[in-house]
Amino acid sequence: MNKQERVAFIQEELQRRYPKPPIPLDHKDPYTLLVAVLLSAQCTDERVNQVTPALFKLADNPQKMAKQRVEKIREIIRPCGLSPQKSKAIKRLSEILMEEYGGEVPQNMTALESLPGVGHKTASVVMSQAFGEPAFPVDTHIHRLAQRWGLTSGKNVVQTERDLKRLFPEDKWNDLHLQIIYYGREFCSARGCDGTVCPICRSCYPKRKKPKVTLKA
């Protein structure tokens, strides 16, 4: 397959397997999604979903969260890792949302990225999954699969995001982000596939014999 054929095949295959991909982080509104995505940094979605019920029972909106002690937040989110930094970020971003945005999560990439603990990937997830705005969040897993599938040369996640946006239609970005994540977990994980094992890797590169060495983000 050439690149154009691979892109078409991958898009069709992912749509066939995951026609309506659910959002993996439990949430009820943009604020709880924002906090859950922040917690998911270097942590599994499954672990985050185990922790957030207790956190959101304590406070499920910026007004309530801003009043909590950092120590109390940290105690609850400790299983997610990086709890000292994440607890401070959650409290401070909640304060900022109250001070500057009337308690609402801004529907704006620049504003989101200015919040404590919120980087480009987190902001992209919120824009995509909370507000339905076209975005293509790229984490280390998507970065790895895009390299295995020959969609990017993969020097870093910034380049990979740019390449994927160029290759796929904008109206497919939000679903593709989730579809690639689900496919990676099921078939093309870091240890489960080396670029020669999963159905998409085998279909795109049937003659590939050696493992595909991928560059870290």
Residues assigned a catalytic role: 121, 139
Q: Which residues contact 58 (CB under 8 A, 6 or more apart)?
A: 64, 65, 68, 72, 73, 76
Helical axes 120-129 vs 30-39, angle rounded to 10°:
150
CA 65 vs CA 17, 28, 101, 104: distances in Å: 39, 15, 15, 13
CA 90 vs CA 43, 125, 152, 195, 200: distances in Å: 16, 17, 34, 38, 39
101 vs 213: CA distance, rounded Å: 45
Q: Which residues contact 158 (CB under 8 A, 6 or more apart)?
A: 120
69 vs 92: CA distance, rounded Å: 11
